[in-house]
Amino acid sequence: MPRSSMPRTRLSRARRAITAAAVPLAAAATLLGGSGTAHATANPGPGFPAHYAAPYVETWNSPSALTNAYNATGNKYYTLAFVISDGTCNGLIDGNTSLTDAGWTSAINTLRANGGDVIASFGGASGTELAQACTSVATLQAAYKKVIDTLNLTRIDLDVEGGPLDDTAANDRRNQALANLQTQYAAAGRTLSVDYTLPVLPTGLLSDSLSLLNNAKSHNLNVNLVNIMTMDYGSAQNMGTAATSAATALHTQLGQIWTTKTSAQLWAMEGNTPMIGVNDSTVEVFSTANASTLESFAATNGIQELSFWALGRDQACSGGFSGAPTNCSGTSQSAYQFTNTFKAITGGGTVTPPPPPGSPTGQITGYGGKCVDVAAANSANGTAVQLYDCNGTTAQSWTVASNGTLQALGKCMDITAAGTANGTQVQLYDCNGTGAQVWQHQSNGELLNPASGKCLDATGPSSANGTRLQIWTCADSANQQWNIPS
C-alpha cells in the first residue's frame, strides 16, 4: 500500500474528544480556550542548539504536560502539535484554542525561562492546514505571521501528509508565503527557520514529498530540516533499522536537491520522528532498544533533530489496550524513557552557520579608544561583554556576519534574555537566530539592535577597563559610537 495512504490516527477528531473528556475539570477551560481574557504574547525564547530532541506535544491535552516533562527529564525542547485552521484562514491551537491562551502562554514562558524553546507544528493528520484554508499567498502569509508573532517563534514545522501532500497548489502557496516571511523577518533582524515533516519509507521519500521540497527550493525557501516520520510502513520489521535506513536514503535525496551542501550539512538538515511503541500499523513496534539505536546513529552522523509521536504516550500502559493506545506506548518502558533516550543528542553550537570566509573580522573600538572585549576570553554562555584596553587577543576579535550578528570565540554578542529595557546587559551566548543578536551599524557610528530599538552603550558613561556594555535609548552620544571591522 502506498505510504501516503497508510492509516494515521495522530488522534482522530473523535478520539481527541475522548481524551479531552478525561482531563481534570481545572484544565477544561484552558483546553477549550474558554478563559475569554486577552493575554500578552509569549516571551521570546533562546533558540535551539545544533542538535536537540523535541517530542511532539498533544495540544488537546493540558499545557502542564510541557512543565511536567521538563521537570521530570530536563529536556528543554518540544514541538506543539498542531496549529490548524479554525474553519477559516485563521490558525488556532488544535483548531479551537486561542493562540493567547493563558495556560499555553504560561507553559511556554516557563520553559523558555529555563533555557528551553518550542516549535509550532502546522498541519498533521487531522484538521485543515492553513495552506489549504487560505486561498492566496498574501492571506496565508498573514495567517502564518499571526501565529509566529503571537507565540514569538523562531522555528516552525509543517507536517504535510495524506491528501494535503498531493495538493500542489497549496504546497506552492505555502512555500511562497514562507519564503516571503523569511525575507521579511531577515530585514527586521529576525530568523525564521522552516522545517518540513514528511512521510517516508525505509527506502526514502516518495515522489510527492520530493516535489514539495523541489518547489520550496524554486521559491528560495530556506528549509532548515526535513523531518521524516519513521512509522507506519505497513509491515512488521525492525523499527530501529527501518528508521536509520530511511535517514540514509534521505541523505542521498537531499543531496540531489541541495547539490552544493556538504555531506555534514545534509545530515544536519535531517530530523527523525518515530511513533514510539505500538504504531497505527500494530505489527510495528518501536521499542526502547530501537530508540537507543536511532539516537546513536543520529549522534554519530550529526542529525539535527530527534522527535517522536507523542509525549503523552511516553509511559507504560497500566492495563490492556486495543490498537495503538493514545495515552501510553504499548511497549515496556519507564516513564519518559523515550524522552530521556533522545535528549542525549542535545548539545553543540547552534544551527546558525559560522560566517563565511572573508567576513570582516577585527577589533570593535569605542569609548575612550577601548576595545569591545569578552571578559577573561571565556566562551561560556553569559560571559560579560565589556570595554578593555586593546590587546590583540581573540577575545577582541569580532566577525561581522552577513546576518547582522557580531561573533567572537564562536558565539554571538547577545542581549541578556532578549531584554528591551534600558540597562539590559550584553553578553556572549550561543548564536540562536533571535533578534537579540542582530546589530546594525548606523552612519553616525551607533550599533542599533532593531528588536529592542536600543543602541549598544558603555555604562556610565565610563571607559574604565571592565565597563559592562548594555543597551540604552539611542542618543548619538560618545559612549554609543563604535568602529567595526569592514
User: Could you give the CA distance from residue 277 to residue 279 in angstroms, rounded to a whole number?
Assistant: 6
3-state secondary structure of 306: strand
Find out whether 302 and 268 touch, Cβ atoms under 8 Å.
yes
> Catalytic one among 58, 161, 295, 305?
161
Strand pairing category for 469-472 and 454-458: antiparallel
Listed residue (329, 323, 229, 326) closest to 281, CA to CA: 323
- HSE on the CB side for 210, CA within 13 Å? 15
161 is catalytic: yes
User: Could you give the CA distance from residue 449 to residue 446 in angstroms, rounded to a whole number?
Assistant: 10
Task: Name the DSSP letter for residue 14.
Answer: H
- HSE on the CB side for 194, CA within 13 Å? 22
User: Could you give the CA distance from residue 202 to residue 182 in angstroms, rounded to a whole number?
Assistant: 32
Find out whether 392 and 413 touch, Cβ atoms under 8 Å.
no
3-state secondary structure of 249: helix
3-state secondary structure of 3: helix
And the C-alpha cell for 149?
A: 508573532
Catalytic residues: 161
